[in-house]
Chain A
Amino acid sequence: MRKFEHLISTVIPLDIENIDTDQIIPARFLKATSREGFGKNLFCDWRYDSNGQPKTDFALNKPEYKNARILVAGKNFGCGSSREHAAWALQDYGFDVVISSFFADIFKSNALNNGLLPVQVSEEFLKHIFEENRKNSDLELEIDLVNGTVKVLSTLKQEAFHINAYKKTCLINGYDDIDFILGNKSLIESYEAEQAIKVDKIVADNKGVFPEDSRTNNR
């Protein structure tokens, strides 16, 4: 997995809420069998017109945002489908960080599992970024994963963000979950060996009454 520690970059603003994974990468592009190459179809239906020409008013097509590696988007980013292709497409396009005031669960896991950093900030801080960016499209942000902070360099306004400590270690070192789980293989095998006994014990220890039986008895 790609490592991440620190980044200073300009941003691409998408001040839209509830951006779902169907917008990030439409289903018709999910037929590929590798992880590469999804970037060219990122936000395809917002980015290109029906003739395949770039829509000049869409942020990704604006020349001033050409080198930005941070996407800033409205709340509930990545809702909908579980397609990891959304994270792959963002990364393949060149993003290392997505900032929003709220992320959908599965998208967040997918991003973290690929070294794409989801940075959750407050509504106020998100608004501040959008406003500053409107004033100056060269606006730069500094993301410091080690200390868990995001800073607007022009205003020096800063906010802390939270990343689970385990995931943070994975991102900084490029570790992935499979190595971690396989390190516990003997525990998995003993879990399997004891599963049936465990269920018997749950049945034996259960002191409560099956609700349907109690409802029937109360009638």
Chain B
Amino acid sequence: MGKTLVEKIWDAHLVKRSEGFPDILYIDTHLIHEVTTPQAFDGLRRRGLPVFRPEQTVATADHNVPTLNQHLPIREELSRLQVDTLTRNCNEFGIELYGLGHPNQGIVHVIGPELGITLPGKTIVCGDSHTSTHGAFGCIAFGIGTSEVEQVLATQCVLQQSPKTMKIEVNGQLAQGVSAKDLILYIISKLSAAGGTGFFIEYAGSAIRSLSMEGRMTVCNMSIEMGARGGLIAPDTTTFNYIEGREFAPKGENWQQSIKYWQTLYSDEDAQFDSVITFDAADIGPMITYGTNPGMGMAINETIPTTYSQPSTEQLSYQKALTYMGLEDGTAMVGKEIDYVFIGSCTNSRIEDLREVAEFVKGRRKADNVTVWIVPGSKHVEQQAIAEGLDKVFEQAGFQLREPGCSACLGMNEDKIPAGKYCVSTSNRNFEGRQGQNARTLLVSPLTAAAAAITGKITDIRELLQVGS
């Protein structure tokens, strides 16, 4: 019997499998950041252990960093302390750090791919649940906790049960105004916030194949929002073209050898998945969430599902979510006034996202009632945006282009949405308080976010695109 892609990569990284024990899985690349590592480094010190493979570990500061005036010392004391602790730990243990001021700094899941560190066939972990992003390149990538970060620092391995596999196939073509973000929000709304738990998901089908690498990263990024450990897409020419020439990508003869290996990375035709689900791209419209988990999403032109249509055991939680959001079941979302637009996060802060937004807003201006933040995913994305003149487009539109970091996706720095305010956001989580205490998050694609910024209301992007064309 053939193997799934997940099984191929997993088996190639098995250090030890024994009955009654989890697998010892070898990790090729360990990405680290300031929030989930200080306690892991302390653990190493307590045990008197070095970092086993420092050259396979890459660090950046992203969660806590301000997105204005990054050249100045971090004002917030605890944030500064955490970022400084990362610097000290990297120096002590010999780890490459792309900290503030470094041209490679940025959100950990943006810099890995753009630097050519993320490659097909690899195993990649990071103390961050959105590590699933890297799966877009056909690798096994998943988030881990701090105890596991310590494990990987100490041994370059993690203990893991081999996962179940799910295939999600999306066939057909996405309509105009519908993007990778809508596709994944649609899938999550169908499967629920727990529908992928215990699985690694392989995304396949013609709609997935026709996505750019940026789009594929957006899809894989949100696998965790269904509870899946990871998501991945078999590599193809789109993947190889994206990687070629990047800073740490294989070069010359190594490149040729790598391609040969990467071309073995697909699920065999007779491979067995534990679950297979199929969707039609034509059924997907621009999406928006109305609740407090990413599974509570719908097509933007629909009305919020009624409480009584929910399973009886879930009605209490459902109503609690709508109360928090200040929304009523059975009502429409389109036309509702909003306060903030956040375009950024490891889900949608790449150059393609910024280009798409800029193309739409060129010659338009934001509504007066809205504050718009655009936070690029990395220093490289920021520089590229400036080189292409996108900064001017944003400025004329009244959008504020800030400096790279996780920013208002989780509000660990100063970028918080005030209580009660609505934020149309390209990030990945609409949990209570995620973007600030009592802030209300509406998850959407970059295009839908841009449309809301211009009109000041929740808007079906398709209406504006028709007017434009």
Enumerate chain A interface residues (CB-CB to B < 8 A): 15-18, 20, 22-23, 26-28, 30-35, 45, 50, 74-76, 79-85, 87, 102, 104-106, 109-110, 113-114, 123, 127, 164-166, 176-178, 180-182, 184-185, 187-188, 191-192, 195, 198-199, 202-203, 206, 208, 210-213
Contacts and interface: CB of A to CB of B under 8 A. Distances in A.
B310 to A, nearest CB: 11
* Size bracket of the B interface: 35 or more
Interface string B402-443: 000000001110000001000000000101111001100000
28 contacts: A16-B317, A17-B317, A18-B293, A18-B317, A22-B410, A22-B432, A23-B432, A26-B433, A27-B411, A27-B434, A30-B63, A33-B85, A45-B438, A82-B127, A82-B129, A84-B127, A84-B145, A106-B145, A177-B159, A178-B49, A187-B15, A195-B26, A202-B12, A202-B261, A208-B264, A210-B264, A211-B236, A211-B266
A178 B150 contact: yes
Contact of B157 (A165, A188, A202): A188
Contacts of B437: 26, 45, 50
B144 A82 contact: yes
B26 A188 contact: yes
Interface of B: 2, 8, 12, 15-16, 20-22, 24, 26, 35-36, 38-39, 42-43, 47, 49, 52, 63-64, 78-79, 81-82, 85, 121, 127-129, 143-148, 150-151, 154-157, 159, 161, 193-194, 197-198, 224, 227, 229, 234, 236-237, 260-261, 263-264, 266, 268-269, 293, 295, 313-314, 316-317, 320, 410-412, 419, 429, 431-434, 437-438
A122 B47 CA distance: 40
A82 B429 CA distance: 13
Contact of B429 (A22, A83, A206): A22
Given A181-B157, A185-B155, A84 B82 contact: no
A44 B129 CA distance: 22
B150 A104 contact: no
A213 B52 CA distance: 40
Most buried by A among B49, B155, B437: B155
Nearest to B234: A211
A198 B313 contact: no
A210 B263 contact: yes
B147 A212 contact: no
Contacts of B429: 20, 22, 80-81
A109 B151 CA distance: 13
B198 A184 contact: no
